[in-house]
A and B are shown apart, each in its own frame.
Chain A
Amino acid sequence: MSEDKKKLELLEQIMAIDFMVIELNLYLNTHPMDKDALAKHNSFAMQSKMLRESYERLYGPIAQGSTSAYPWQWIKEPWPWEYEANPRLSREGK
C-alpha cells in the first residue's frame, strides 16, 4: 500500500472517531446525566487521542499545539480543502 493511501486511511479513521466525539458531545450538552453516553464519549475521545498520536508521528501535526519535526511541518501541503488531502469514503456493506 502506498504511503499516501496509508495516510488517508488513518485520517479517515480519525475523522470517523472524531465525528462520534462531536456527536456525543452535542448530545451530552443536553443530557449531562446520561452515563452510557458519557462512557461512549470518553472511550471515543481516548481512541481519537491514540490515533492522532500515531498519525502525527508519521505525517506531521494535525492540530495546532502538536510538536513538529524539523523543518516546521505545519505548512506542509495539501490543506484539508484540497482534493488530495481527502480520503475517498470506504462504504462498508454497501
Chain B
Amino acid sequence: MWTYEKKLQFPVKIKNPNPRMAKLIITQYGGPDGELAASLRYLSQRFSMVTPQAIATLNDIGTEELAHLEIIGAMVSQLVKGASLEELKRDGLDAYYVDHDRGVYPQSAAGNPFTAEYIAVKGNPVVDLTEDLAAEQKARATYEWLINMADDPDVIEPLKFLREREVVHYQRFGEALRIVQDYLQDPHLFVIPKPDFMK
C-alpha cells in the first residue's frame, strides 16, 4: 500500500509561465519514456521478480517514480498557469487547450495519449531487468533533450535532478541484474537421483 506525503521529492518553483516547455515536458508525464510508464513497469514487474534485493529495488524505484510523476505534473501545471489564451495559441497548445484546458493529461510531446504499450512485463527476471536498464537510459536521454530545449533555471534544475535519478536507478538495476544472474546460476534446485531406467 501507499500513503501520501505532502511535499515534492524535489522543489518545483517556476516563476515564468512557458506553454511551449510544458508541451515538451508533458512527455515525461505520459509519454513512452515517462514517469507513469516507469512506475507502472516496475511496480508490475515486481510480482514475478526473484531475490530479495531485486524485488525491493523494483518496489522502491517504482515508488520513487510516482514521486517523479508528481514533480513533472507540478512543472507542467506551473508552466501553463497564468498563461493567456494568446500565449497558449502561440506556443502550439491550442489543440491541447480545447481538450484539457490547463489540466495535466498523460500524453507524449506529440500528443499521443498514454498507453500500457509503453511498458513490458515478461515475467522473467532477466528479461524484465534488462528492459529496465534500457528504460532508465531512454529516460535519461529524454531529460537531456529536454534540458537542451530549456533556458529557464527554474525549469532546468528539477530536470537535472530527475536526470541524475535515472543514472542512479540504472546503477541499482545493474546491481540487481548481477545478483539475479548469480542466483539463477546457483545449483539451488533439489537434486533428484536418476531412476535406474534413465541410467
Residues of A whose CB lies within 8 Å of any CB of B are 11-12, 14-15, 18-19, 22-23, 25-27, 29-32, 61-65, 74, 79-83, 85-89
Residues of B within 8 A of A85 (CB): 7-8
Say yes or no: B77 contacts A19, CB within 8 Å.
no
Nearest to B52 among chain A residues (CB) is: A32
Expressed in whole angstroms, the minimum distance between the Cβ of A47 and any Cβ of chain B is: 16
Expressed in whole angstroms, the minimum distance between the Cβ of B59 and any Cβ of chain A is: 9
How many chain B residues touch A (CB < 8 A): the figure is 33
**The one of B13, B53, B157, B168 that contacts A23, using a Cβ cutoff of 8 Å:** B168
Among A25, A27, A63, A81, chain B packs the most CB atoms within 10 A around the CB of: A81
Say yes or no: B53 contacts A26, CB within 8 Å.
no
The answer to whether the Cβ of B125 comes within 8 Å of any Cβ in the partner chain is no
Say yes or no: A15 contacts B13, CB within 8 Å.
no
Residues of A within 8 A of B53 (CB): 29-30, 32
The answer to whether the Cβ of B57 comes within 8 Å of any Cβ in the partner chain is yes
Residues of B whose CB lies within 8 Å of any CB of A are 3-15, 52-53, 56-57, 60-61, 64, 70, 73-74, 77-78, 81, 157, 168-169, 172, 175-176, 179
Q: Is the interface of B mostly helix, strand, loop or mixed?
A: helix
30 contacts between A and B (CB under 8 A): A11-B7, A14-B7, A15-B8, A18-B7, A22-B9, A25-B60, A26-B57, A26-B172, A29-B56, A30-B53, A30-B172, A32-B52, A32-B53, A62-B6, A62-B7, A63-B3, A63-B6, A65-B3, A80-B6, A81-B8, A81-B12, A81-B77, A81-B78, A82-B74, A83-B81, A85-B7, A86-B11, A86-B12, A87-B13, A88-B13
